[in-house]
Amino acid sequence: MNMLVDNYNRTFPYLRLSITEVCNFSCSYCLPNGYQKDHEKSFLRQDEIMRLVNAFVELGVWKIRITGGEPTIRKDFTEIAKMIGEKSEITKLAFTTNGYKLREKAAEWRDAGLNAINISIDSMNAKKFHDITGHDRMQEVREGIEKALEVGFEDVKINVVLLKGVNDDELDAYLEYVKDTPVSVRYIELMQTGDNLTYFNKYHQSADYVKDQLIDRGWVENIRQIGAGPAVNFTHPDYKGSIGLIAPYSKDFCTGCNRLRITSTGDLRLCLFGNVGIPLRHMLQSDDQKDDLKAAISKQLDYKASSHFLQDGNTGIMTNLSSTGG
Ligand code: SAM
Ligand code: SF4
């Protein structure tokens, strides 16, 4: 079996595929003014997506996360999931969502073949949730999470972007939530992007702030599994769920990198914070381009850098996470 390998011996079985930049929320750290349509963009079509997926499968990819923007905003989201889900080589088919319509659509999406889901919920307090996202939907999103569990998503994760003075006092509320709910709450350290420097300086909080409180409360850091993602996981025997910390500014964050990204217009991004997007779309126009496409992707791995150098303020060409695919 082919496998994508870079110069640092990292392998890439995992693809994050953005299918749109559009989003209906206006999260303060991502799209504070909502999605702005500056000019008409055409996002990858279904046939282009499948050519990409077919090539990546032949290069050893077995996990795909569909993301955006808000991926579920696309009218053909379920169809896209179904097409990818039909590929038996893709054993993990995940998506990341703000939870909009999850309550109504969880069963449909599970039936389409999606088996893992990350839902963003930055506050357990309805007013704060509204302030952060621009939407008064905390309760609805929580009901969506219940529904996702009920219809059999195997892997349910909750994403929380840690914000100083905004939600960094809410650990106990999340702990209460995971007491009886078998989900993994993952605190993500706020990342600097091209658009959010002032915001970043004001609200960045280190993941250690949460880590110290977890340890004080008797939570234990799990031994990292080989091939595990970037989260450091904590568990406690009295709780059904777990807490993860994603600290992109920590030393060695990039050593375990196992993912590549495709933007919604078909550029390959070797790193979320990379300086180049490698256009692949022109190689997605007919099935007989597959070998060229595979060769182009493999070749690019030679240029994948060892680290994102985010700690030096390098944000690459990424303006916000909705444009690159979070
Ligand atoms: N719209 C979906 C959502 O919000 O879950 C998927 C796309 S969103 C860009 C993916 C994840 O990136 C979300 O969990 C979001 O909170 C996170 N995110 C966005 N901007 C971020 C930033 N500057 N730093 C850290 N996480 C960020
Ligand atoms: Fe939309 Fe997700 Fe960005 Fe929030 S984080 S504005 S939901 S893309």
Give the nearest ligand 1 atom to 191 CA.
24
Whether the CB of 27 sits within 6 Å of ligand 2: yes
Phi-psi map region of 22: left, alpha, beta (phi>0 left; psi -120 to 50 alpha): beta
pLDDT for res 25: 97
What does the alpha-carbon distance between residue 176 and residue 21 come to, in Å, rounded to a whole number?
34
Give 190 Cα–ligand 2 centroid separation in angstroms: 13
CA-based torsion, 317, 92, 4, 253: positive or negative: positive
- Select the more confidently predicted residue: 250 or 87: 87
Mean pLDDT of the chain: 91
Q: What is the pLDDT of residues 213-248, one digit of tens each?
A: 999 999 999 987 766 778 899 999 999 999 999 988
In this structure, the number of other CB atoms found within 10 A of the CB of residue 150 comes to 11
State whether residue 206 is helix, strand or coil. coil
> What pLDDT score does 8 carry?
84
Helix (H) or strand (E) holding 292: helix 290-300
Q: Which helix (H) or strand (E) holds 162?
A: strand 155-162
Residues flanking ligand 1, CB < 6 Å: 23, 29-30, 67-68, 70, 96-98, 120, 159, 161, 188, 190-191, 193, 196, 321-322, 326
Higher-confidence residue of 176 and 316: namely 176
- Choose one of 24, 73, 96, 204 to mutate for the ligand 1 pocket test, by most ligand atoms within 8 angstroms of C-beta: 96
Strand (E) or helix (H) holding 96:
strand 92-97
Centre of ligand 1 to C-alpha 289, Å, is 33
**SS3 assignment, position 184:** strand
CB 160 within 8 A of CB 231: no
155-162 and 116-120 strand pairing = parallel
Predicted pLDDT at 12: 87
3-class secondary structure, 216 = helix
Would you state the structure tokens that stand for residue 9, as one six-digit string? 């011996």
Model pTM score: 0.94
Distance 103 CA to ligand 2 centre (A): 18
Alpha-carbon distance of 187 to 130, in angstroms, equals 19
Q: Is the pLDDT of residue 258 over 90?
A: no
- Give the span between the Cα atoms of 81 and 148, in whole angstroms: 16
- pLDDT (mean) for 86-90: 97
Whole-angstrom Cα Rg for the chain: 19
Q: Tokens in use for 293?
A: 């496409």
Q: Are strands 14-18 and 259-262 parallel, antiparallel or unpaired?
A: parallel
Closest ligand 1 atom, residue 248 Cα: 25
Those residues whose C-beta lies under 8 Å from the C-beta of residue 7, and which sit 6 or more positions away, are 301, 302, 304
Pocket of ligand 2 contains residue 70 by CB under 6 Å: yes
Q: Label residues 14-24 b or e (16+ Cβ within 10 Å = b).
A: bbbbbbbbbbb
Q: Which ligand is nearest to the CA of 195?
A: 1
Tell the residue nearest (CA) to atom 23 of ligand 1. 191
Contact 149, 103 (CB under 8 A): no
Provide the b/e sequence for 234-254 (b: ≥16 CB within 10 Å): bbbeebebbbbbbbbebeebb
182-196, 215-229, 247-261, 301-315: range with highest mean pLDDT: 182-196
Cβ atoms 163, 169 nearer than 8 A: no
Q: Which ligand is nearest to the CA of 121?
A: 1
Which residue has its alpha carbon closest to ligand 2 atom 3? 30
CA of 98 to the centre of ligand 2 (A): 7
Mean of pLDDT values over 183-210: 93
Distance 29 CA to ligand 2 centre (A): 8
Q: What is the CATH number of domain 14-157+249-324?
A: 3.20.20.70
Q: Verify whether ligand 2 is closer than 6 Å to residue 99 (CB atom).
A: no
Quick one: average pLDDT of 164-193? 96
Question: Average pLDDT for residues 1-8, to the nearest whole number?
Answer: 82
